[in-house]
Amino acid sequence: MTVNRELFDQVMVPNYAPSSVIPVRGEGSRVWDQEGREFIDFAGGIAVNCLGHCHPALVSALKEQGEKIWHLSNVMTNEPALRLAKKLTDATFAEKVYFANSGAEANEAALKLARRFALDNFGEQKSQIISFNKGFHGRTFFTVTVGGQAAYSDGFGPKPGDIVHCDYNDLAAFEALISDSTCAVMMEPLQGEGGIISPTAEFVEGVRELCTKHNALLIFDEVQTGVGRTGELYAYQGLNITPDILTTAKALGGGFPIGAMITTTDIAKHLKVGTHGSTYGGNPLACAVAEAAFDTVNTPEVLNGVKEKSALFRELLTAINEKYNVFTEIRGEGLLIGAVVTEQFKGRAKEFLVAGTAEGVMSLVAGADVVRFTPSLVIPEADIREGMARFEKAVAKVVNG
């Protein structure tokens, strides 16, 4: 069988439009395709491959668990799930963990829990969910409706109700919207897909205060920001506030599919036996790999290293911009970095991604106007410099047409 890009068009549902490049092997922050071409990976599978490709600790955990037990239903528990849950609760505000397979599933669980908590404690009238324009929370119908990008939820019939949106970083608009009918507020502590937008301290602290005032649960979607991405284990730990529920996925498994919702005992008790579930959630293979990823990332060496690598990324991007004047701003936290294109290149961020691929560097976009970088948290300095040299050639090509 010939496996190539044309086969995708023959056999796959056309909801993706993948590159012609088909990677077949990865090591660290480098990837090779079917033709043997090498790429520096600044994309990380969209902030998933937190330790790069084929990290020895993850490979070892997968092999070891793969020779023990692969799957059990949640009629029984398993050792890797319990160990990982204990480590998550020890390292965060949370006391209870629910495992899922993805960020969307973790967010679905968080939203269902918030609605059930409000119903049990306050009654049916307390059901409103507030989230933010340009936010992204997954592709299930509930989470995509809560997400603040209507283009993703339009066209599928009637949407889940009592969900409203306001602008991120607009505390006055948020204060005008929230009330005693609000059951939950879902927000990213740094908007990812919406353009790599950080919250102001006033905004995030004000949201927390208003949630407390109105007995609304604050849900932090840390699917993209969590597990070291910002230089904190979880981004909330650098924001001087604590959410009531937090969701985590992407980097949690270092590339193996897993998600989790974490919360307090008082809130968690409202998901009684039978109220929610998952066939694969808490899978022993996934949890064993995630435990190895979590142990590797949750060290001062790695977390401090994220901040150092972030500074180098910004320095090199700034140097490129001084030559070509294509970005108005370099923003983000840690190794979740966005380069905002100038008016001249508005709507054309993807051109930099495509040109980069041709030069041997993988990047992302966050909307039409932001080039996004989410590399491995342990990417070597030499790979950062080489990748940025390739990216500079890509920028030159776009600028020179």
- Domain residue ranges of the chain, discontinuous segments joined by +: 5-54+300-399, 57-297
Residue 147 labelled as part of a binding site: no
Looking at residue 81, its amino acid is: A
Catalytic one of 41, 221, 369, 383: 221
The rounded distance, in Å, linking the Cα atoms of 38 and 387 is: 11
Q: Which of 41, 250, 294, 327 is catalytic?
A: 250
Annotated catalytic residue within 39, 132, 136, 220 = 136
Q: pLDDT tens across 277-296, in order?
A: 999 999 999 999 999 999 99
The band of 172, judged by pLDDT with boundaries at 50, 70 and 90, is very high
- Tokens for 151? 């283009």
222 annotated among ligand-binding-site residues: yes
pLDDT of amino acid 287:
98
pLDDT digit string, tens, across residues 19-46: 999 999 999 999 999 999 999 999 999 9
Q: What CATH number should be reported for the domain whose range is 57-297?
A: 3.40.640.10
Sign of the Cα pseudo-torsion (317, 231, 336, 41, in order): positive
Over 90: is that where the pLDDT of 57 sits? yes
Told to judge if 250 belongs to the known catalytic residues of this protein, a careful annotator would answer: yes
Residue 33 is a catalytic residue = no
Count Cβ atoms below 10 Å from residue 127 Cβ, excluding itself: 18
Q: What are the residues whose beta carbons fall under 8 Å from the beta carbon of 4, sequence distance 6 or more?
A: 22, 34
Q: What is the pLDDT of residue 401?
A: 81
Please identify which residue in the block is written with the tokens 């730990």.
Answer: 237
The length of the chain is 401
Confirm or deny that 6 is annotated as ligand binding.
Answer: no
**pLDDT of res. 242:** 98
Please indicate if the annotation marks 103 as binding a ligand. Answer: yes
Q: What is the pLDDT of residue 381?
A: 98
Where residue 175 falls among pLDDT bands split at 50, 70, 90?
Answer: very high
Average pLDDT, the chain: 97
**pTM for the full predicted model:** 0.96
Q: Determine whether 272 is an active site residue.
A: no
Contact 35, 389 (CB under 8 A): no
Q: Does domain 5-54+300-399 have CATH number 2.40.50.140?
A: no
